Amino acid sequence: IDAHSTYHQLRYHVNKILEPLTTSISNNNNNSNEITNNNNTSGYQPLFTGVTVPKIKADYSISNTFQLSRQLGGDNKKIVEQMRQLIQKDIDENRDGMSLIKDVSVEKNFVNVSLSQDYLEQSLAVWLKGEAPLYELTKQHKQSLQLPLEPKEVLVDFASPNMSKELHVGHLRSLALGESVCRILEYRNHRVERVSHAGDFGTPMGMVISYALENKAEFLRHIWDKQSGLSSMPFIPTPKQLSTIYSDAKKLTKTDSEFSKRAHLAAAELQKGPPTTTSGDNNNGGSDPDIYRAWLDLMDINVKERGESWYREMLEPAIEELRSLNMVSESEGAVCVFLEDQKTPVIIKKSDGAYLYATTDIAAIKNRLVTNKKQWVIIITDDSQKQHFQQVFTIAQLAGWYRPDTEHRVDHLSFGVVRGENGLKLSSREGDPLALEELLQEAIQRAKDATITSRSLTRAEKLDQTHTAQQLDGADRVEDRFELDQYNTWEHYRKIGLGAIKYFDLSQRSNSYTFSFDRMLSFKGNTSIYILYCYTRISTLMKRAQFDINAIDLNTFKFKEFSEKERKLVLMISKFPDVIRATESTLRPAVLCDYLWDISDCFHHFYESERVIGSDTMVQKLLIAHVIQNIINTGFHLLGLETVDRL
C-alpha cells in the first residue's frame, strides 16, 4: 500500500476492521471479484475494495455494501449495521492512538466514514516537512510520497509535427498533453523517454521538395548557385515560406497528375537514404543528391528528435519478419497485411517500392518494445489516427512483439479538433489553419489586457462573489502598493497567457472543444486564471501577515481542532496523492485540473468567510494556505504551467 494515499490507507484499514465479517466468505468462496482472499501472494490482500469518495456528506463511503451482503447471503440493512458497529468499535478502541477514522455513520446503503484530525494533520505535515524552495519539494515528494510500486520504462511519442507544414493549434494539443503526461509519469518515478515522431519522410515531404526544386525556391539557392558555379550558404525557410510552398504544392498535386507522380517519386527517393551510402542488404542506390540536399535543408528548421526517417533501416527487416511469420501477402504489387474483421488491408509497401506511414510505425513499435525494451508506450495524436494505431498494435501483437498481458502497456492518447467560435475548425482571418505562433502572440497580448483590466476591479467583482470578511479591504490596499512595474513584463504575461491556453486545453473533458480567449482568461470558472488568482491571493496574504514559515518549529507546533472550513481545505490536501495516481492511470491531466480548480474554489470560499490575520488560529491557517500554494505550484508544474505572484 501507498502510505500517503488516503484511499489505499482507508481500504487497507477498513478491510482489516471488517475481517470478522469477511473471513467467513473468503473461506468458502475464493473466486469472487470484489471480495477475494488470495493466498498465493505474500502480503496483504484487500478483501473489501468498495471505499469511494461520495457525493454525499461524508469524507469517504463504503459503497458496494450490496456485494458484501450478497456474499454473506444476508440482509443489507443488517450487514451495513454490522459494518458500522465494527468500525465504531475500532474507533473506540483506538481512542488514544493515531486512528484514521473519526466517525462512522450509515446513510442508505452506504457506510460513511470521516477522517480523524490526526490523519489530516499528518497529510499536511508531509508537505510542511519537505519545506524548501517549491521545486525541491516536488523532488522530495517523488521519493517520499509518490513512489509507484514498479517504476516503468516508458516512451512517450508526442509533438510529432509534419516537417513540411507550419505548426498549428493541433500541435499545441499534442505538445501540452504530451509534456504534462511525461511530467506526471516522471513525478511517479517512471523513466520516461520523449520522442517526436516527426513526419520527415512521407509524401508531403516529397511534394514540398519537388515543388521547391522545380520552382527554384529561394531557400535552395545554394543548389542553383552551385549549378552556376557560384556558392552560397543554404538558408533556412521561415515556417510561413514553408507552409506556402506546402499549400501550393498540394494544390498542384490535385491538378497536375505528372507533378503528383514526381512528388511520390521524390518521397521514394528520400527513403533510399543518403546518396553516397548504399545499404548492403536491400541494395539501396541512395537518393538523388539534390532531393536529399533539399531535404536536409528543410530539416534544419526544426528540432529533430526522432523522425520517421530514423527507422529507415528497420523498415525492410520488419517487413521480412512479418513475411516469415506468414502475415503478409502481395496484392497488385503491393505488400499488405490482412487483418481479421477488416475489409481493407494495411499496405506496408507500395508497388513503386515506397514505404508508408504504417510501415514506419510497425518498425517503430518493434524497435520500442523489443529492441529498446520499453514497458509502456504512449502515442499522442489527433483522433483521426485511431484506426491506424489499432492496426499497428494488432500487427505488433500478432507478431509477438507486443505482449499486453505480461509485459507491455501501449496507449494511443488522442484528441479532437479545436473549433473557432464560429463552430468551424480554428483558422486565421484569411481562413488558413491558424498558425501557432500567431495564436500564442495573441494570447500574451490578451493576458496583458485581461490582467490590467482586472487590477481595477475589486476582488468581489473578479469572482462575482459577495463576502463580508473585513480583511479584504486591507488586502486590497496592500496589493495596490505592489510594485506593478516588475510584473508588467512580456515574460510575466507570457506565463499567464500561454498557461491559460494550455490549461484550457488540458482541462477539457471532451475531445474537441471551442477555443475562446474570453473563457480561458476569465477569473471565473475552471481556468488557470482562477487558480492563479488563488495563488496570488495567498502570496499577498503571506506578505501582509509577514509570515515566515522557517520561524515556526513544526516539530512542536500544535494544531487546534480544525474549523469546518479549515477541515475542508485539509481534506482536499489529503487527496493530492490519490489525484496524482488517478491522473497517471487515466493519463488525463484534466483529473488534476479539476482538483486544482476544486481546491482553489475551497480556498476562495474559506478566504472570503474566515478571518485569517489576527484570528486565534492564524498560524495554522497560514500553514494550510502555504501548503495549498505548494500544491498549486506542483500541480502547475505537472501541467507544464508556471505560477506568478501577481496577476
What residue ranges bind ligand ARG (CB under 6 A)?
157, 160-162, 197, 199, 361, 364, 379, 381
Who's near 55: CB < 8 A, 6+ residues apart? Answer: none
- Report d(CA 173, CA 156) in Å as an integer: 14
Closest separation in Å from C-beta 170 to ligand ARG: 8
Strands 513-514 and 418-419: parallel
- List strand residue ranges (DSSP E) for 229-369, in order: 328-331, 334-337, 346-349
C-alpha cell at 315: 523498415
- Residue nearer to ligand ARG on the CB measure, 226 or 250: 250
- The set of residues, in sequence order, having a beta carbon less than 8 Å from that of 530 and lying 6+ positions away, is 463, 522, 523, 524, 597, 600, 601
If the CB atoms of residues 379 and 436 are measured against ligand ARG, the closer one turns out to be 379
- Comparing CB distances to ligand ARG, the nearer of 178 and 635 is 178
In the complex, the smallest distance separating the C-beta of residue 396 from ligand ARG, rounded to whole angstroms, is: 12
Query: How many alpha carbons lie under 13 Å from residue 129 in its C-beta half-sphere?
Result: 12
Task: Report in angstroms how near the CB of residue 239 gets to ligand ARG at its nearest.
Answer: 15
- Which of residues 382 and 442 has its CB atom nearest to ligand ARG in the complex? 382
Closer CB to ligand ARG, residue 205 or residue 212? 205
- DSSP annotation of 368 reads I
Q: At its nearest, how many Å lie between ligand ARG and the CB of residue 157?
A: 5
Report, in Å, the least distance between residue 197 CB and ligand ARG: 4
**Phi and psi for 404 in degrees, rounded to 5?**
-65, -35
From residue 156, alpha-carbon distances to 105, 149, 368, 479 in Å are 45, 20, 10, 43
Which of 516, 508, 541, 493 has its CA nearest to residue 647?
493
Q: Please say which residue, 146 or 381, places its beta carbon nearer to ligand ARG.
A: 381
The residue among 384 and 516 lying less far from ligand ARG, judged by its C-beta, is 384
CB of 58 to ligand ARG, least distance (A): 45
CB 492 within 8 A of CB 498: no
What CA–CA distance (Å, rounded) separates 509 from 132?
Answer: 34
Nearest to 195 by CA among 364, 312, 316: 364
Contacts 24+ apart (CB under 8 A), 144-150: 144/4, 145/4, 145/577, 146/4, 146/187, 146/188, 146/189, 146/577, 146/580, 147/2, 147/188, 147/189, 148/188, 148/189, 148/190, 148/584
Say if strands 346-349 and 334-337 run parallel, antiparallel, or are unpaired.
antiparallel
CB of residue 268 vs ligand ARG: minimum separation in angstroms? 18
User: Cβ distance 318 to 362 under 8 Å?
Assistant: yes
Rounded to a whole number of angstroms, the minimum distance from the CB of residue 199 to ligand ARG is 4
Q: Which is nearer to ligand ARG, 195 or 266 (CB)?
A: 195
Q: How far apart are CA 235 and CA 162, in angstroms?
A: 20
Indicate the residue among 377 and 506 with the shorter CB distance to ligand ARG. Answer: 377
To the nearest whole angstrom, how small is the minimum distance from the Cβ of residue 196 to ligand ARG?
8
**Smallest gap, in angstroms, from Cβ of residue 589 to ligand ARG?**
19
Query: CB-wise, 193 or 645, nearer to ligand ARG?
Result: 193
- Strand bridging mode 334-337 / 328-331: antiparallel
Residue closer to ligand ARG (CB basis): 50 or 199: 199
Report the residue number, 364 or 496, with the smaller CB distance to ligand ARG.
364
Q: Minimum Å distance from CB 337 to ligand ARG? A: 17
CB of 314 to ligand ARG, least distance (A): 13
Task: Write phi, then psi, for 335 (nearest 5 degrees).
Answer: -95, 125
Instruction: Fill in the amino acid letter for 11.
Output: R
